[in-house]
Structure 1
Amino acid sequence: MTITVLLVDDQPLLRMGFRMVIESQPDLRVVGEAGDGAAAAALAAELSPDVVVMDVRMPGVDGIEATRRIAAAGGVSRVLILTTFDLDQYVLAGLRAGASGFLLKDVPPADLLTAIRTVAAGDAVVAPNVTRRLLDAFAHHLPDPDASADGGPDRPAGRVANRRTAGTDRLDRLTDRERDVLGEVAAGLSNAEIAARLVLSEATVKTHVGRILAKLELRDRVQAVVFAYETGLIRPSANPPRHDG
């Protein structure tokens, strides 16, 4: 089965390089390109690609808003965000908007290809331990786009409180064991590591993860980590990692 890909980046040279890498594979095919978020959302609706490889910083409509539009449309397309980590502080917002994960732009070609296939298969592309490390870094300074919208000194805090309350209500759907597993997922552990820590079989952990995603109405592990942060089930590390450059 051929996996179809839409490339979105405001730099034509980067799109050309990504196209060459992707189309070197017999199971992958680039069906379109866009240089801004508005065009990306329109092409995603028109072409229904399996995966949208999305830049974040673009003129006009950025990648976060484009991701939100694509996710809200309810189609088959899943978004994989590519970003320069040291510069881009809005990846968590992209995940909140519905992205299935993200990679750095200097990712090795083989990892990009694996990520596209992983996202197309319906799973998250970010390794659990990397997810935790990145979210720890972002959570200390990332503005909440929903909370900051509409302005007002009181409204943002109210929105955060309302969303946390709603999340806590959803958290109540889980059993104690499922909460334990969710906490370990959010802490960056793989299924095998969770199994060892909680003295369970790996198959049992996988079953728990599937039930957690279903009960919380989440698509993948990345969204589960974001949910755990937003509900206060897990909190950022006291000392976020430093990234120079």
Structure 2
Amino acid sequence: MTRGSTGTRTLIVEDHTLFAESLEIALSIEGYDVQRLAVPSSATTTASLLASVARVRPRIVLLDLDLGSFGDGTRLINPIARMGANVVVVTASLDRARWGECVRYGARKTMSKAQPLQEILAVVRRINHGLPVMDVQEREDLLALWHHERQDRQERRRRLEELTAREREVLGHLMAGHPVRDIARLSVVSEATVRTQVKSILAKLEVSSQLAAVGLAFSLEWQPPTVHRVS
């Protein structure tokens, strides 16, 4: 039995086949004109994927964020919204700052895949009937989390930029899993010198361990200068 969907064209952009099929069946039963966009198994350009979305001309798009080899689906939100579609993000990510980023770029709603399917369908129904799906407080809370995370990320990147050229090389070695003694041998300096450099790195990054420094660098997808392989 349909609920007044009047064949609303709905597109599912999701690389998890079982979840996508569940959504497709549930929406079809309610009378929506549902299509699934096949997410390429190999890397493709954003423009190519957006062209596929545009050909469907959906009114509602259910979008995952983690799209396999394509990568982060966040970059699709604004272009799809600008096409006139209502974007509902349905994701396994529980990072609410990331949810706020989705709202910032134009998503009408961000939801967890762990939520009951009926709750996802209820959001689609409300959008189809022109009703709000997110109150002002929820929106402001998510945007505040995104803004805070963005500022924090910028601050962590600023700390990385304060490293000297030599400290960047040492951090690169640490990211590659090289111990202090091997870094010293490769650089033809004493272990004490390298330990002093590591201590300076930790102080500038405001972390208490080599592991934390490496984790910070990886979290920002920081690229160290090319370092020589330790044999």
Normalised TM-score (structure 2):
0.53
CA RMSD of aligned residues (A): 3.2
Return the alpha-carbon distance in structure 1 between the equivalents of residues 127 and 59 of structure 2: 8
Alignment deviations for residues 40-68 of structure 1 (CA, whole Å, 9 cap, x no partner)? 52222101111010001123252111112
Deviation at 1:115, TM superposition (A): 0.7
Structure 2 residue corresponding to 1:41, chosen from 50, 62, 78: 50
Which residue number in structure 1 is paired with residue 210 of structure 2?
none
Identify the structure with bigger relative contact order (alpha carbons < 8 Å, sequence gap 6+): 1
Task: Please give the secondary structure, in 1, of the residue aligned with 2:66.
Answer: coil
- Closer/same/farther in 2, CA of residues 19 and 123 from structure 1, 3 Å limit: same
Which residue number in structure 2 is paired with residue 9 of structure 1?
14
1:57 aligns with 2:66: yes
Query: Are the aligned partners of 1:79 and 1:98 in contact in 2 as well (CA < 8 Å)?
Result: yes
Q: Is the radius of gyration larger for structure 1 or structure 2?
A: 2
**Matched residues, number:** 147
AA at the equivalent of 1:81:
V
Query: Are the aligned partners of 1:79 and 1:100 in contact in 2 as well (CA < 8 Å)?
Result: yes
Structure 1 unmatched ranges of 5 or more: 154-245
Return the alpha-carbon distance in structure 1 between the equivalents of residues 131 and 54 of structure 2: 21
Deviation at 1:34, TM superposition (A): 3.2
1:22 aligns with 2:27: yes
Return the alpha-carbon distance in structure 1 between the equivalents of residues 87 and 140 of structure 2: 20
- Closer/same/farther in 2, CA of residues 40 and 112 from structure 1, 3 Å limit: farther
Normalised TM-score (structure 1):
0.50
Deviation at 1:121, TM superposition (A): 3.9
Identity among equivalent pairs (%): 20
Deviation at 1:122, TM superposition (A): 4.3
Q: Tell me which stretches of 4 or more aligned residues in structure 1 moved more than 3 Å.
A: 36-40, 120-124, 127-140, 142-145
Deviation at 1:144, TM superposition (A): 9.3
Counterparts in 2 of 1:174-189, with a 5 A limit? none
Which residue number in structure 1 is paired with residue 199 of structure 2?
none
Query: Are the aligned partners of 2:97 and 2:145 in contact in 1 as well (CA < 8 Å)?
Result: no
Deviation at 1:16, TM superposition (A): 1.0
Which residue number in structure 2 is paired with residue 179 of structure 1?
none
Structure 1 residue corresponding to 2:125, chosen from 96, 117, 123: 117
